Amino acid sequence: MAAEVPLLDWDQFDPAAYLNEYYGDVGAENRALLRFLFDSYRDLPAGGRMLDFGGGPTIYPLISAVAKVDEIHFCDFLASNLKEVERWLARDAAAFDWTAFVREVLELETGPPCSDAAVARREDEIRSKVTQLLRCDASRLHSIDGPESAYDVLVTNFCAESATSDRSEWRSFFANIVSLLKPGGTLIMSALSGATSYSVGSRWFPAVDISEEDLFEVLDEEGFKRKTIEIRSVQADRPTRDYSGLIFAVATKQSESTDGR
């Protein structure tokens, strides 16, 4: 853990360094993340529109999603992250290679081995279903640049707790993010646990140290049905990590017509 974290400066965030540091291989931690996403999407009804909020320079949450949703909107605060995703969507040779992650998910779906042709088909499906890349800012209630919209599925990974060191800001960011989900819609999310900072190359960025109990509390406060909230954790798989583990959560937002608690 870094002894001192510099002031947050998103201009110092390097998408390539982040991808290489956290997604350079499909290790135990990423395998658990992909398994969680696979399990979560598998239980969704087919159809609807999904938002990946604060997706960074990554596309891994979309690999399982396209098997269920009809349309995907992707947003992030940084233009550099959106540019990285745009490169992948455009098949730019300089884009990050997600082949191993796609293969891992397909082998969860159908069992190994997975052919190169199957990987290519799933990548094409992702590209066809991502219809908008948008800028977002979790510090604003109306947090997406573009037409206001409510989504059937909202995915947010390592976002609100990884954008501030202030707990009250984390709660505000989280509330703004989940306000984009329709009543009755599904939230699928992951977060760092035990973190006050995290590294991206030689730079350090602040984080809020949250637990499963913290997450359950904020989900309850934001109108998610208690009986639908499912939370689990895994430990970080490398001793050099600056957090203790990952928290995974799925929850259904309260319908306006019932209390459902």
Tell me what pLDDT residue 2 has: 43
Q: Pairing state of beta strands 151-157 and 203-206? A: unpaired
CATH of the domain at 202: 3.40.50.150
**How do residues 203-212 score in pLDDT, each as one tens digit?**
888 899 999 9
User: Is 237 a domain residue?
Assistant: yes
Backbone angles phi, psi at 30, to 5 degrees: -70, -35
Say how many Å lie between the first and final Cα of the chain, rounded: 39
Range of the domain at 212: 11-252
Comparing 10-14, 230-234, 245-249, the range with the smallest average pLDDT is: 10-14
Over residues 71-91, mean pLDDT: 97
Query: What integer best gives the mean pLDDT of the chain?
Result: 91
Counting the structural domains of the chain, the total is 1
* Contact by Cβ (8 Å): 208, 218: no
Burial of 79 (0-12, 13-18, 19+ CB in 10 A): exposed
Q: Which two tokens stand for residue 164?
A: 């501030």
Please report where in the chains the tokens 């087919």 appear, as a residue: 46
pTM: 0.92
Answer whether residue 233 shows pLDDT above 90: yes
Backbone angles phi, psi at 67, to 5 degrees: -70, -15
What kind and span of H or E run contains 11? none
User: Is 124 a domain residue?
Assistant: yes
Over residues 218-235, mean pLDDT: 94
Rounded to whole angstroms, how far apart are CA atoms 155 and 160?
A: 12
Rounded to whole angstroms, how far apart are CA atoms 209 and 139?
A: 19
Answer whether residue 240 shows pLDDT above 80: no
Tell me what pLDDT residue 3 has: 41
User: Is 30 a domain residue?
Assistant: yes
Comparing 33-47, 119-133, 158-172, 240-254, the range with the smallest average pLDDT is: 240-254
Over residues 191-220, mean pLDDT: 92
User: Is 257 a domain residue?
Assistant: no
User: Is 197 a domain residue?
Assistant: yes
User: Is 25 a domain residue?
Assistant: yes
User: Is 5 a domain residue?
Assistant: no
**How do residues 144-181 score in pLDDT, each as one tens digit?**
877 677 999 999 999 999 999 999 999 999 999 999 99
Please report where in the chains the tokens 């201009």 appear, as a residue: 11
Tell me what pLDDT residue 254 has: 87
Answer whether residue 201 shows pLDDT above 70: yes
Answer whether residue 261 shows pLDDT above 90: no
User: Is 260 a domain residue?
Assistant: no
Over residues 227-254, mean pLDDT: 88
